[in-house]
Amino acid sequence: MEIAFLMLFVLSLLLFPNGICKSLAARPPVVNIGSILQFNSTIGGVSAVAIHAALEDINADPTVLNGTTLQVMLKDTNCYDGFLGMVQALQFMETDVIAIIGPQCSTIAHIISYVANELQVPLMSFASDATLSSIQFPFFVRTAPSDLYQMAAVAAIVDYNQWKLVTAIYVDDDYGRNGIAALDDALAARRCKISYKVGFPVTAKKSELINLLVQVSYMESRIIILHTGAGPGLKLFSMANRLGMMANGYVWIATDWLSAYLDANSSVAAETINGMQGVLTLRPHIPNSKMKSNLISKWSRQSQKYNNSDLRISAYGFYVYDSVWAVAHALDAFFNDGGRISFSNDSRLRDTTGGTLHLEAMSTFDMGNELKDKIRKVNFSGVSGQVHFDNTGNLIHPAYDIINVIGNGMRTIGFWSNYSGLLSTVTPESLYSKPPNTSLANQHLYDVIWPGETAQRPRGWVFPSNAKELKIGVPNRFSFKEFVTKDDVTGSMKGYCIDVFTQALALLPYPVTYKFVPFGSGTENPHFDKIIQLIESNEFDGAIGDIAITMNRTKLADFTQPFIETGLVILSPVKKHITTSWAFLQPFTLEMWCVTGLFFLIVGVVVWVLEHRINDEFRGSPRQQMITIFWFSFSTLFFAHRENTMSTLGRGVLIIWLFVVLIIQSSYTASLTSILTVQQLDTSIRGIDDLKNSDDPIGFQVGSFAQDYMALELNISRSRLRALGSPQEYAEALKLGPKKGGVMAIVDERPYVELFLSSNCKIGVAGSDFTSRGWGFAFPRDSPLQVDLSTAILTLSENGELQRIHDKWLKTGECAADSSEFIDSNQLRLESFCGLFLICGVACILSLTIYFAIMLRKYLRHEPKKSLRRFISFVDDKEPPKNRKRSLSLPGTSTPMTPMSSLTAVDIERPARPVRNGSIADIES
């Protein structure tokens, strides 16, 4: 029997070596894990209680580790003293633990991650530093959301409220610096930026923090992001409140350290909570569940048990609790696959001669890599939600609550989820079952009570009280000085644009210190593109003047709301149209008169052809028929034709022609009325197309964008363009004309043209504006002055001040009313009626085609002999009546005669009238 059992055992080893090993690998009765925390911190105290609560639940559940007891070894470290914390953490690594919960601070996590890689001990850390990556540290497992996601949520809040500049205050360590770097990237993705950032050491004194806040108060941005720990963060809030920086106009956004502190502390001093009214903060989102409720209900007992009765659970407590459970689930899978707990010494870890670090005490976890893989594959429902890691080692579906500190508590005003990347009042877990909707139009948050107890969203920016004097570039014009020019006596700048700018500045709720810097020599107009380039290179802090807003310029700078609408127009010499005795011919051009007359004849001929066989009124001698055609054609002009049409085709052609005549007659009447009653100005140019189709020179103002527009957009050769520098040059060039060295026309912006026409009555505007532009003030990209001045310009427009400034500087002369509104030639051209003539022509051709097709069919049916001459004779003959019983014909003719028996009394009594027949001259009998 013993021999048989031995043989069976040997056979099992040969056939199932892995299975037998697994069955023989007994689970250890106790497994040790470690934890590195700072006990005297809020997060550290909550984490210690959460670890013990998780161990109790795990060890009380026999289905988790199947009899193995999980124990923890806690180590207190100093997060704020990097060197001391590093030494304490390294000493803790001498113990044989298979996993470590923590550390909570990023500085220690960076150091321990290197050691964890060497010793192959998984590090279940909830440090949020975004630079801690599983790629660099394979044994680093992040069990809380990364700062990458938190800063994306902060950037979403900034962008949602339409702020562009923020100030960042941070603790100057790995946690603070790397967090602000992540914020900078997230803001840049939304075209926002950090205008000023300042860090401070953890050990900063009160005086240093006050100086920091005073420096921040001098900055332009009023949106302050506070990324610190609870200790220094609360001090900063208290000092800011005393300095008046928690008043109306400020916005404070604290990262999740504030919500962790307020959630964990059951009693917060009234002075502390009063110093942070209206502050926004973030909290990692923990969905509601039964497991979460159970943990909260027994938290009080657990905290009292471990001498932390004043601490309540926070989001970090939920993550730590689930971290321990993740280790337990991974260990269970590890043991099921035959994993064993064993350590070995690394020959490299050895003190040099005389060393006392005891590096040889550190040992490597032999199967740490296998346990790490099991941890990364865990997938279970925990108190913090679904515990599952993605391929980057981060928890899936990171999300945050947006919290508003009000009164003695906090109010959730919305959520941010990485699933959609948007702000919403809908809980993130309700979105996971739907496709992500990334439309910015779906963003929404509940109303916020801002610092200063106001519900009105702060502007987020003020002009800094210690700001340098702004250098505002102003074009020093040579011509059209009414818009902007330099006063030779005082040296100051004046003009229409200057008054608009100063009046808009007066409406701002803060003072702006500036000085005007003339740009240009004053002997010719400067090129405005160069002024915009100087803004981009930061040589100018802004530019004002008659600067047109063009697409290329908006790529380099931001413009305010246009304070005057403008567009390119054409200046051309005009002459008064004198009414003569032949004025009745002026409504139509020569081509229009010729085509109209031709169509009168064509329609008359077509109707004659269609009516000739059946209508006696269109028959007779050739002379009579020609008279009928001419009479019928031109009598339709007055709808006075006496000939009746009998054929369907003829009536159709006549109806269409009468409609054409009605349109032509109405247009002629309107045009002639205008010519006889309104002063007319004539020019040979009707619009921009005439300029493009010509080869004559075209003038433009020096420095205007009109040159590039005509060359690039209209494809007009630059060799045709002539630069003109003053109104006198305008008038001279137009007077000379293209044949004597001048130009055929000038293309310029509407405000210049109106001012020029006020003193030049023999020149007018041809056509209408062919571009839509405006003048605005230019500032660097994302400058808040651009937004505030735009609002001020709209206010000036609504209260009438903008029009008053316009009337002050841009008064028009006596002839401006006649010249500026150029009345285009009222002659009606053929192009306006081509459609009508085309319809009429098609109707004539179609009617003739149908008519001759019918005639051909009749001819082929009734005539035995076929020839062209007989067909023409057949078409020319009068068609016999359809109700005729018997036909009589004269000898030698085909004309039928009506029998006496078929004549009615009316026919007998009707006076005799000659029968018109093209083939018989006259018949009387």
- Model's pTM, two decimal places? 0.67
What is the four-CA torsion angle of 850, 855, 856, 858, rounded to 10 degrees? 130
Arithmetic mean of pLDDT, 292-316:
88
> What would you measure as the largest C-alpha separation in the chain, in angstroms?
159
* DSSP-derived secondary structure for 567-588: -EEEEEE-EEE---TTGGGTTB
| Residue 918 in this model has a pLDDT that exceeds 70 | no
For residue 314, how far is the Cα from the chain centroid? 39
> Which among 143, 139, 89 is positioned nearest to 112, based on CA atoms?
89
C-beta separation of 287 from 385 below 8 A: yes
Tell me the C-alpha distance between 879 and 680, whole Å. Answer: 57
Which pLDDT score, from 0 to 100, does residue 867 have? Answer: 74
Arithmetic mean of pLDDT, 364-378:
94
Which pLDDT score, from 0 to 100, does residue 339 have? Answer: 92
| Residue 911 in this model has a pLDDT that exceeds 60 | no
Q: What is the mean pLDDT of the chain?
A: 83
C-beta separation of 164 from 188 below 8 A: no
* DSSP-derived secondary structure for 245-264: TTSTT-EEEE-THHHHHHHH
Q: What is the pLDDT of residues 544-554, one digit of tens each?
A: 999 999 988 99
Which pLDDT score, from 0 to 100, does residue 267 have? Answer: 84
Which pLDDT score, from 0 to 100, does residue 826 have? Answer: 55
Q: Per mean pLDDT, which of 197-211, 334-348, 459-473 is the most reliable? A: 197-211
| Residue 312 in this model has a pLDDT that exceeds 70 | yes
CB atoms within 10 A of CB 386: 15
C-beta separation of 153 from 282 below 8 A: yes
Cβ-proximal residues to 920 (8 Å cutoff; 6+ apart), any chain: 890, 893, 895
Which pLDDT score, from 0 to 100, does residue 631 have? Answer: 79
Q: What's the N-to-C CA distance of the chain in angstroms?
A: 155
> Which among 381, 371, 380, 376 is positioned nearest to 392, based on CA atoms?
376
| Residue 815 in this model has a pLDDT that exceeds 80 | no
Question: What DSSP character marks residue 98?
Answer: S
C-beta separation of 220 from 784 below 8 A: yes
In 135-250, the DSSP E strands lie at 140-142, 165-171, 193-200, 223-227
User: What is the sign, positive or negative, of the torsion defined by CA atoms of 177, 179, 183, 186?
Assistant: positive
Q: What is the pLDDT of residues 567-624, one digit of tens each?
A: 898 888 876 555 567 777 778 888 888 888 888 888 888 888 888 777 777 777 878 7
Cβ-proximal residues to 154 (8 Å cutoff; 6+ apart), any chain: 183, 186, 225, 253, 255, 282
Which pLDDT score, from 0 to 100, does residue 316 have? Answer: 94
Q: What is the pLDDT of residues 702-752, one digit of tens each?
A: 988 888 889 988 899 999 999 998 889 999 999 888 888 899 999 999 999
> Which among 91, 95, 315, 98 is positioned nearest to 108, based on CA atoms?
91
Which pLDDT score, from 0 to 100, does residue 883 have? Answer: 44
Higher pLDDT, 827 or 92: 92
> Which among 504, 652, 675 is positioned nearest to 584, based on CA atoms?
675
Which pLDDT score, from 0 to 100, does residue 386 have? Answer: 94
Tell me the C-alpha distance between 764 and 757, whole Å. Answer: 7
For residue 60, how far is the Cα from the chain centroid? 57
Which pLDDT score, from 0 to 100, does residue 655 have? Answer: 85
pLDDT class for 896, splitting at 50, 70, 90?
Answer: very low
Query: Which residue in the block uniquely carries the two structure tokens 């306006």?
Result: 832
For residue 783, how far is the Cα from the chain centroid? 18
Which pLDDT score, from 0 to 100, does residue 23 have? Answer: 39
For residue 741, how far is the Cα from the chain centroid? 48
Counted residue by residue, the chain has a size of: 925
Backbone angles phi, psi at 127, to 5 degrees: -70, 135
Arithmetic mean of pLDDT, 894-907:
41
Question: What DSSP character marks residue 426?
Answer: S
Tell me the C-alpha distance between 250 and 451, whole Å. Answer: 6
Element holding 416 (H helix, E strand): strand 409-417
Q: What is the pLDDT of residues 207-233, one digit of tens each?
A: 999 999 999 998 889 999 999 999 999
CB atoms within 10 A of CB 353: 4
**What's 789-828 look like in SS3?**
HHHHHHHHHHCCHHHHHHHHHCCCCCCHHHHCCCCCCCCE
Q: What is the pLDDT of residues 147-170, one digit of tens each?
A: 999 999 999 999 999 898 999 999
User: What is the sign, positive or negative, of the torsion defined by CA atoms of 71, 76, 80, 86?
Assistant: negative
Question: What DSSP character marks residue 359?
Answer: G
Residue 908, amino acid = I
| Residue 922 in this model has a pLDDT that exceeds 50 | no
> Which among 313, 261, 266, 260 is positioned nearest to 291, based on CA atoms?
313
pLDDT class for 818, splitting at 50, 70, 90?
Answer: very low
Question: What DSSP character marks residue 517?
Answer: E
Tell me the C-alpha distance between 422 and 442, whole Å. Answer: 8
Which pLDDT score, from 0 to 100, does residue 690 have? Answer: 83
pLDDT class for 15, splitting at 50, 70, 90?
Answer: very low
Q: In what order do the strands lie in the sheet with 778-779?
A: 514-519, 470-475, 542-543, 778-779, 558-559
Which pLDDT score, from 0 to 100, does residue 183 have? Answer: 97
Tell me the C-alpha distance between 285 and 288, whole Å. Answer: 9
Query: Which residue in the block uniquely carries the two structure tokens 């008046």?
Result: 244
pLDDT class for 13, splitting at 50, 70, 90?
Answer: very low
Tell me the C-alpha distance between 833 and 841, whole Å. Answer: 12
User: What is the sign, positive or negative, of the torsion defined by CA atoms of 531, 534, 538, 539?
Assistant: negative
Arithmetic mean of pLDDT, 634-658:
78
* DSSP-derived secondary structure for 696-756: S-EEEETT-THHHIIIIIS---GGGEEEE-SHHHHHHHHHH-GGGTS-SEEEEEHHHHHHH
C-beta separation of 679 from 826 below 8 A: no
Query: b vs e for 359-381, b when ≥16 Cβ sit within 10 Å of the residue's Cβ?
Result: beebbebebbebbbebbbebeee
Do the strands 763-766 and 568-573 form a parallel or antiparallel pair, or are they unpaired? antiparallel
> Which among 361, 389, 316 is positioned nearest to 115, based on CA atoms?
361
Query: Which residue in the block uniquely carries the two structure tokens 């069990």?
Result: 143
| Residue 767 in this model has a pLDDT that exceeds 80 | no
- Token pair in block for residue 672: 């002639």
C-beta separation of 746 from 698 below 8 A: yes
- Token pair in block for residue 839: 């319809």
CB atoms within 10 A of CB 512: 16
| Residue 186 in this model has a pLDDT that exceeds 80 | yes
Tell me the C-alpha distance between 499 and 478, whole Å. Answer: 19
